[in-house]
């Protein structure tokens, strides 16, 4: 296993584990490595410092030193708000994937049970839903794809 520090095109920094360097390259080329903050698939390796274990007799860090924030945590208040929104949507809604447009239409027409859903839709499908009076709204993040 290898851990990489990553950054997306929007400048968000996060980290992730991969089976190997080749596994990262393969997943990134397929667009399956996504930003943990905004969901962007435009992700690249960031500059990393090597992890070196201190010697057995290494001194403890200075008591007044402040710990760094974990790379996978949102940095700004806006990122924190988006992360909280994502958490609430994922906890309280059903992910319907690329079937979002047809499922939203079925719920609106009464052919499917009423429930909160989220997923992915092409722009023209979303536009058709709005024109037909189906209440939908874009999310400020890309849904996590369940690949396993």
pLDDT of 62: 53
Residue 58: predicted pLDDT: 57
In the chain, % helix, strand, coil (3-state, to 5) comes to 30, 15, 55
- The distance in angstroms from the start CA to the end CA of the chain is 18
Q: How confident is the model at residue 74 (pLDDT cuts 50, 70, 90)?
A: low
Tokens 């990134």: give the residue.
Answer: 28
CA–CA distance, 141 with 8 (Å, rounded to integer) = 13
pLDDT for res 148: 43
* Paired tokens of 39: 């969901």
- Statement: residue 11 has pLDDT above 90: no
Q: What is the pLDDT of residue 45?
A: 87
C-alpha separations of 141 from 40, 110, 131 in Å: 8, 28, 23
Q: What is the pLDDT of residue 30?
A: 87
pLDDT one-digit tens code per residue, 78-101:
888 888 898 999 999 999 999 999
């Amino acid at each position: 296993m290898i851990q990489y520090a990553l950054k997306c095109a929007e400048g968000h920094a996060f980290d992730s584990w991969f089976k190997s360097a080749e596994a990262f390259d393969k997943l990134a080329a397929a667009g399956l490595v996504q930003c943990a903050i905004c969901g962007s698939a435009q992700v690249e390796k960031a500059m990393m410092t090597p992890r070196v274990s201190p010697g057995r007799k290494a001194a403890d860090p200075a008591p007044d030193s402040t710990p760094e924030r974990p790379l996978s945590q949102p940095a700004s208040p806006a990122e924190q708000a988006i992360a909280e929104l994502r958490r609430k949507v994922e906890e309280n809604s059903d992910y319907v994937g690329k079937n979002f447009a047809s499922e939203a239409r079925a719920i609106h027409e009464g052919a499917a049970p009423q429930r909160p859903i989220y997923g992915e839709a092409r722009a023209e499908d979303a536009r058709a839903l709005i024109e037909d009076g189906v209440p939908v709204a874009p999310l400020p993040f890309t849904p996590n794809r369940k690949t396993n």
